[in-house]
Structure formats: structure tokens, C-alpha cells
Chain A
Amino acid sequence: MSKVKSEYLINRKDNQYEVVIGLEVHAQVTSESKLFSTSSTKFGAEPNTQVSLVDAAFPGMLPVINEFCVKQAIKTGIGLNAKINNRSVFDRKNYFYADLPQGYQISQFKDPIVGEGKVILDMPEGQKEIGIERLHLEQDAGKSIHDLDPQSTYVDLNRSGVALMEIVSKPDLRSPDEVSAYIKKLRSIMRYLGTCDGNMQEGSLRADVNVSVRAKGSKDLGTRCEIKNVNSIKFMQMAIDYEANRQVDLIEEGKSIDQETRLFDTRKNETRSMRSKEDAHDYRYFPDPDLLPLEVSNEFINKLKSEIPELPDDKKKRFIKDFKVSPYEANILVSDIDTAKYFEEVVTKMGKNKDIKLAVNWITGELFAVLNNKNLEISQSPISSKNLAILVNLIKNGTISGKIAKTVFELMMDGDKDPQKIVEEKGLKQQSDPKALEALIDKIINDNRQKAIEYKQGKEKLFGFFVGQAMKASGGKANPQLINEILKKKL
């Protein structure tokens, strides 16, 4: 296979530009309660029903760190092959806003809990390593709702204080496709770890996207713009595409790019200036005196390491080695932990005489199509791994043909029926008795003498006609391989 590097470049007249992208991903920590309080984090509750006195910043209320969230952040750090810091510090990021009750966000500024790491992307042109700068823990703010009332803004503090992990990448990404692959990989790792559900619709995963451009081949970084709070992969890609082109246009016009924070307008598909560098907030970071530095021992970290499940990269290697699937198939199978789990269950349940390749085709073909159609996760699959394994075995041992299997598959969906039973009840078992098939074929040749003669005279196309007639006569149940053999012999 030739390795074509599908570079993402922006072309103008004689100039080619490369795009440099860095991501600050905000991932909501999967946790029952908030980072510094015991309030619930459940999504979709009535406004202001999951707010403690701490979350609403009542006088004299103090934050107490949620140990579970710390463990989640460390696990994620391990999943990102990153350095876990034994000592990290919570800082206050000071600014005023109606949905920020404390008047500051507790975050980690100078000393994050997780340091440098890396993520491997599987791109069509090969693997690419993306550096992780850091991961830190911080509180989410509440939500301001401006469209409920023409005069007033409403504030919902349910989200106030929910734990977020901010995962900062190095500026190693070069295209919207890489960004997509990166987000998907992060999400995959965190779902494997159970540290973030990655649900972008519910805002569990969103990102600030830093974009700059430079002449192709240049080593210097251009002036970057930060596009705030983009909440879908598609929008990230659209925003990058728009923003990179905007910057290139400015350069081509001989203008300079202002370092600024921009917003992506999803309706107009454009980015707009939010605030310039001069207007940038002075957050007056300083260590939160209500919290002691967070100290974690190597013992604590090692214990968490021992609890880490097999992650996508390792699983992929194992699938290729043990199951002889292609790297491409392995990628598809491991990208989602539930798919990997389903696949392995099918493999186990197929028993000794198994056809893994066939199973992969059925999972990534028929099953994925159904899930897509019905908008279901594989964990909600209407067909259990056990029954899919039986179906694949029925094909493998010649009980049914692949074509019949599709019919059986359709019927299985109604209440996860056992395919074996369906085959028996509906009499779908493949006809593989040579004598019966010979009789059937003799009759067809007899009924179509003229065509048989034409075939013998060299009209080879007609072979297909006889196969079709034989299948039709058998109600589709005839073993196609046998039909072929008998026809060849008889014609």
C-alpha cells in the first residue's frame, strides 16, 4: 500500500499554508458528586435543584476535595501516558460573572495534577503522535440563560462546581481530520477508563480550539486565535476551516493577525471576535488558601495503575495478534469499549471452529447498519453477542447461506431470537443433499432445453440463469456451491 500523506494545506496563488492547531478539551469527570461538594452531578435535573451552599458560595462555606475526582484525573493521566504529579495546587481564577457564584473558579494553574503525555492517532497515512501538555482539575461554572425573559437573565447553578478535566494538547494537530481523530481517541480512552462519558450533546466534552497558520515548511508559530467552547467535532472542523482561511486571507492581504478570543457562530458558519488580547481578563491567579496542596503518593498512583483496564492501543495490538484481524478492522473494533467487548464475546461464544473474519464482517456490516439506523449504542444492541455468534456459526458450518442469514438476522431483531430456532421453524436450512439437488437441476435443464443448448454452444452467460432457476426452485435454500458443481457437471 502506498503511503499518501493527505496534507491539509490552504492554497493561495503561489503560497501554501499549513495550519497549526492545539486543543484545550474540557471533559466532565464521571462522578456522582461535584469536585468540592456533595451535590449530585446528574444531567437534566430541574434548574437549581443540585446546588449546595458551597456551590452557591454562601458566606463561610468551604471547598472539600472529592477524592474520587482526583482518582479519575490520575487514571485519565495514566491513560494519556502522562506524568502524574505527586504534588499539585488548586488556584483561584478570579473573575466576575453571574453564573460564577464564588467570583472565582477553583482550577489548577502552575502545578497541575498531570503533566506531559501523549496520544497516538491512527490516520489513513499512518500513526501520528500528539503531545499532551498537561491535564488539570477545575470547577465548572453555572449556566446563564438569557432567552427566558426579555429583561432578565436566569442562572442555573446545577452545573456549578461539577468537576472538569482540562486536557491541553501541544500544538501538534495539523488538520480538521486530525482534530476529529484526536477528540475521538481522547473520548475512547476516557470511556475505557470510565472517567468521562464523552457525551458532547450534554456538554460533557467540549473544547477551546487554538488555530494559527504559517507558510508551509516554516518552523515558526503564527499568531494564534482561540475559538472558545466548541461542542461538537463537526463544529470544531468547520470552525478550524473557517478560521484558518480567515487568517490566510489576512496574511495574503498583508494584514496582521490579532491574538484574540473568538466565538464560532454555528448558524453563520463563521468565527467572530469575542475579546482582544488587550481586553483579556487578568484572572489574578493565586493558590486557594481554603485548600491545601494536593499530595498523592507513588503508592496511591501505582494502586490506580493496577486498576487500569486494557486501553485501545493495547487492545488493538492484541486483536491483530490473537484474532488476525487487519489493523483497519482492529481500529474499528477497539475505538469503542463496548464494541470491543461485544466482539470478544462473539469470538468466545463461537467456540472452537470459528470464523473470526466472518464475525467481524457481520458486526461492522449488518449490525452497525442496524444500530446506526435505530440510533442505538452497541450496548443496546437488539441482537445479543451470543445469538450473533450462533448465526455466524450457522453460516460457517453450511447450515444456511449468507443470503439466508440476512433474512434470519432480520427476524432475530424481534426480541433477540435464537437464529437456530428461526432456521428450524421457518425451514430455512440449506439444501445440501446432492441427490435432491441433482433431481431439481435435471428438471430445470429439461424444462429449458433450448437454453441448455445455447449454453453448450458457448453462451456462457446463461450459467447464471440456471443458478438463479435452481435457487428459485429451492426457495433460496439450495447450497450455492453444490448447485454450481452439479450444473457444471450436467450442462
Chain B
Amino acid sequence: MSDITKQSLSELVKNIKEKKLSSKEVTKAFIDRSEKSKELNAYISEDYSSALEKAKKFDEKPNLDLKLPGIPMAVKDLFCTKNIRTTAGSKILNNFVPTYESTVTQNIWNEGAILLGKLNCDEFAMGSSNETSFFGNVQNPIDKNLVPGGSSGGSASAVAGQLTPITIGTDTGGSIRQPASFTGIVGLKPTYGSCSRYGIVAFASSLDQAGPMAQNVKDCALLQEIISTYDSKDSTSVDFKRNEYSKDLTKNIKGKKIGIPKEYRVDGMPKEIEELWQKGIQYAKDCGAEIIDITLPHTSYALPAYYIVAPAEASSNLARYDGVKYGFRAQGENLIDMYEKTRSEGFGAEVQRRIMIGTYVLSSGYYDAYYLKAQRVRKLIKNDFDEVYKKVDAILTPSTPSSAFKIGEKKDDPVSMYLNDIFTVPVNLAGLPGISIPAGHDLKGYPLGLQIIGKAFDEQNILNIAYAMEEKIGFKNKINDWWIK
């Protein structure tokens, strides 16, 4: 089987279970392709030899009852992995090797998966183009010098470029859905509290959520059912009845009510996005869903609120990187000098910008005007969703206001960069699940995604809608392996 890396997760699992493929063959295939794909710069750390060892071991005594039997996969470098360097895309953690494993990755290894390596991402997941990573830009497999989106840019690039069959990313304001949309893959941001945050390098604690990224909806559902577990080590983890998402997956969405929020028709949105949305509405109708116009009146305040709440939490979460206990330390004359040099040299410009914003909005005298107000806005946004969910089962929007842009194009314009998150951010603020599925191409042939937003803890419903629409859309990603010589 020469095209192992072209196979979806489900196909690989089936082939390994039927002993048509060994874990070693599969692992080797993805390593080989990863080795040939260095130009994508998707990996920060590789763990190939130990992956092969593990695959060999698996094959010697294969446990085929597992959900990911001997399946190799790389994960975003924001998940702490025991004895494997974990950098969060930052110089300040360049030498950091955890002695512990995040709950989400542990869940994956428990089901038989094998770690290939750690994937590039924006520094501390702060970015929408993967350009803030200390470890360099990631190339989009769609086209040369195109950003893969961010912050899970390495993850999106690796799945789209078939360097890993599936992966997990994290999503604070769109970091799974936007890169999924930019690279033509499926990405799910689960309900806040669905996946444990234990062992994930924190960006903004009240918004961060791990989630699956895959070639298709079914693979995404399978990975979600593995990573979503209640965890007493995370006080915000919610103990609810979790579905077997892949087993319960159905294309029958007849009679489902899908809302179309008029506020998502933003100024300056390219025509092709509007057309994609209309097409999406038609697909949903074709699947038997009922389309209902809805209003989410506070949508336009979501982005500003997000860019107060997220930096505020980040400024505090990142205080622990001070050169005292682990990670990078610059020499200083005294403690304060050491702090200043360590953090000035250890953090990149975007991280510093957000720490400054966050520190500012929490300062005495500004707290009420910024942080408190933003929290009130957040409540209003959540109320908007609660209100419409009395009438609809899910909401359909574009994933992003544009397709992928060129590397460097928005680097010096943070506000225009932040605008990328305009459709994804409200979902995080409200703690809801959202999935991005590839739904078409723009004139340049770059993929475009549609987002389906669900009710809290109702991942099954949006997975079902995505599953049904995926079939109707029949999307084919245009990957020509331009980076392989």
C-alpha cells in the first residue's frame, strides 16, 4: 500500500485491525512523508525513532480492541508530553521537558496511539497565522508562502499535508477552526469543560479548549470521543454524559433547525464568503434541515471583549515564566533585572503585546472600564445564544471572513490579524462547541470553511450536521505536494 498517508484515520484503523497494515508500516509511512516535508516546518520536535520502537512493540502484541491501535500521530506543542520537550512555540520554554503528561494526550496514548512529534504553533497559541512561533513560519500545504492559519498552524498543515492522520489542537478564539478552514480540513472546538485542560500550557484559562483536527468528520468524532473525559484535576472540567460520538454519528438531520445569524454578514466580507455561506444553507436544506433567520445582536462586541479577556488572563497565566524555576533564564544584575531580561528575550513581540494589554486592562482604575465591562459583554453574548437556542438546534456561519493569506501580509497589522477571529471568537466567549468543515474554494483555489455552532455539550448534533453536509459538499482538498522535491 503505497498511499498509506492518503488514508483517513478510519481506513487506517480498519486496515490495522484487519492486519492488512502493521503499525510499523503506517508509522514509517508518516515518518517518511514528514521527513520529506521539512519545508512545511510543521514540527517543532520529532520523536521518530521512539515512535518506530513503539510501533514495533505494538505489532509484537497488538491490542486491536483499542480505538487507535498503533496509529501514529503528532500533536500541537502546547500539550505537555512526558519526557518530550514541550515549548508552546516559545523561546522561554525552548529547553522545557515535562515530567508529566496532559490528560488529553494521555487519553490518546491509552487508546493505542503513538506520538510522532510536537507540532508548531503560534507562541503560547497567540496568533492567527503561526507567524508568532519562535520556531518559524509554517507553510500551508495548499500553496507556497501561504499561512496555515493559527494558532494550531502546524497541526493543520500536518493533517492537510498528510504528515499525521489526525491531530489535536487547542482553540481559544478560533485556533482550531480557522487553520482547519485555511487548510481544507475538519476541526472541532468542543464545549468548554468537555476536554481537560490539565497539562495544556495555558493561554486564556476561561477560553482554552483542546479539540480534534482530521481529514473528515468521522475521524474528528472518533478523536473527540477519546479525548473528552471528565477530569478531577481540572476544576472547570464538566461531568456530563458523553456520547460515543463516532458510533452515534448519523447523517439523518431531517427537521433539524439551523439558524442563520444576520450579524455575521460583516462589512467588507468578500463575495465568495457570502456565496459559500449561501451554498452551505442550500446544502443544509438539501439534507432536510430547516433554515431559520436569527439574530445575535451583540456579535460585534465579541472581538473587542475577547481581546480584553484573553490578554488579561494571559498576562497572569504567563507570569510563571520568570526564569526562576524552569525554562529560559537570562543573566541579570539582580532579581528584577533577571526578570526583565528573561521575559524581554524569552517572549516574542505578540506575546509581549498581549501581556501589556492584559496588564493594562486589569490595572486599578482601568479594571471596571475594560475587564469588568468585557465580562458583561461576554454574558450578553452568551444570553444571545441562549435565546436563539430556544428556536434552533445549531447555527451555520462561515468559519473565517477570508481564505488563507500570504506569509507576512498581515504581520505588522495586529488589528487586521485579530479580525480573522471574528466568526470564531463568540463561540469561545459563550463556551459553546463549534466545528469547521471545508466547504469550497475561492477563486485562487484556496479552501474555505463553514462553521456549525451547537448548544453546550451537544457535540453530537453538530458532528451529525457536519457529517451530513460533508457528504453533500463532496469537498476535495487540492494538495499537489509542492514542497516535496
Contacts and interface: CB of A to CB of B under 8 A. Distances in A.
A98 B201 contact: no
Nearest to B338: A98
A358 to B, nearest CB: 58
B320 interface: yes
A57 to B, nearest CB: 4
Contacts, number: 96
Nearest to B99: A53
Contact of A53 (B100, B206, B359): B100
Interface string A37-62: 00000000000000001001111111
A103 B322 contact: yes
Interface stretch (A177-185, A288-296, A343-351): A288-296
A126 B235 CA distance: 49
A286 B96 contact: no
A58 B102 contact: no
B319 A104 contact: yes
B206 A58 contact: no
Nearest to B343: A96
A291 B235 contact: yes
B335 A284 contact: no
Interface string B197-225: 11111101110000000000000000000
Contact of A290 (B205, B315, B367, B371): B205
B368 to A, nearest CB: 11
B484 interface: no
B316 A104 contact: yes
Contacts of A56: 325
A57 B323 CA distance: 12
Nearest to A59: B201
A286 B235 contact: no
Contact of A284 (B88, B102, B200, B362): B362
A63 B205 CA distance: 12
A262 interface: no
Given A289-B204, A290-B205, A291-B235, A284 B316 contact: yes
A103 B320 contact: yes
Q: Is the interface of B mostly helix, strand, loop or mixed?
A: loop
A472 to B, nearest CB: 76
B235 A63 contact: yes
A159 interface: no
Contacts of B53: none
B164 interface: no
B202 A65 contact: no
A153 B205 CA distance: 32
A59 B319 contact: no
A92 interface: yes
Contacts of B198: 60-62
B98 A59 contact: yes
A65 B233 CA distance: 10
Contacts of A291: 235-236
B307 to A, nearest CB: 16
Interface band, chain A: 20 to 34
Interface in B55-104: 79-80, 86, 88, 93, 96, 98-100, 102
B101 to A, nearest CB: 10
Contacts of A96: 319, 322, 339
A98 B324 contact: yes
Nearest to A97: B335
Nearest to B196: A62
A56 B98 CA distance: 13
Nearest to A98: B324
Contacts of B96: 59
A104 B362 CA distance: 13
Interface string A95-124: 010100111100000000000000000000
Contact of A286 (B80, B102, B312, B326): B312
A64 B80 contact: no
Contact of A57 (B79, B100, B204, B320): B320
A292 B234 CA distance: 10
Given A59-B93, A289-B204, A290-B236, A282 B363 contact: yes
Contacts of B122: none
A284 B324 contact: no
Interface string A271-282: 000000000001
B7 interface: no
Contacts of A282: 363-364
Interface in B419-476: none
B213 to A, nearest CB: 20
B232 interface: yes
Given A96-B322, A284-B363, A289-B205, A62 B235 contact: yes
Interface band, chain B: 35 or more
B313 interface: yes
A103 B314 CA distance: 12
A61 B99 CA distance: 12
A155 interface: yes
A404 B233 CA distance: 66
A94 B320 CA distance: 11
B357 to A, nearest CB: 12
Q: Which of A56, A64, A96, A290 has the most CB of B within 10 A?
A: A290
Contacts of B204: 289
B102 A94 contact: no
B91 to A, nearest CB: 14
A59 B235 contact: no
B149 to A, nearest CB: 23
A56 B321 CA distance: 11
B243 to A, nearest CB: 24
Given A101-B324, A155-B324, A60 B363 contact: no
Contacts of A155: 324
Contacts of B318: 103
A286 B320 contact: no
Contacts of B197: 60, 62
Contacts of B79: 60
Contact of B202 (A59, A92, A101, A285): A59
Given A286-B367, A292-B236, A101 B325 contact: yes
A153 B367 CA distance: 34
Given A60-B202, A284-B359, A286-B316, A292 B235 contact: yes
B316 A92 contact: yes
A92 B202 CA distance: 15
A61 B96 CA distance: 14
A103 B235 contact: no
Contact of A58 (B100, B233, B371): B100
A94 B325 CA distance: 18
A53 B232 CA distance: 16
Interface in B356-387: 359, 362-364, 367, 371
A239 to B, nearest CB: 27
B332 to A, nearest CB: 12
A102 B88 CA distance: 17
Contacts of A60: 79-80, 98, 102, 197-202
A90 B233 CA distance: 17
A289 B371 CA distance: 13
Contacts of A58: 80, 98, 100, 325-326
Q: Which of A56, A58, A282, A291 has the most CB of B within 10 A?
A: A58
Contact of B320 (A59, A62, A285, A290): A59
Given A60-B200, A290-B205, 4 more contacts: A53-B100, A59-B88, A92-B316, A98-B335
29 contacts: A56-B325, A57-B320, A59-B86, A59-B93, A59-B96, A59-B201, A60-B199, A62-B233, A62-B234, A63-B235, A64-B232, A64-B233, A64-B235, A94-B315, A94-B319, A94-B362, A98-B322, A98-B324, A103-B316, A103-B322, A284-B359, A285-B362, A286-B312, A286-B362, A286-B371, A290-B202, A291-B235, A292-B235, A292-B236
10 smallest beta-carbon distances between A and B, as pairs: A103-B319, A289-B206, A289-B205, A284-B362, A60-B199, A57-B320, A59-B201, A60-B80, A60-B200, A103-B320
Interface of A: 53, 56-65, 92, 94, 96, 98, 101-104, 153, 155, 282, 284-286, 289-292
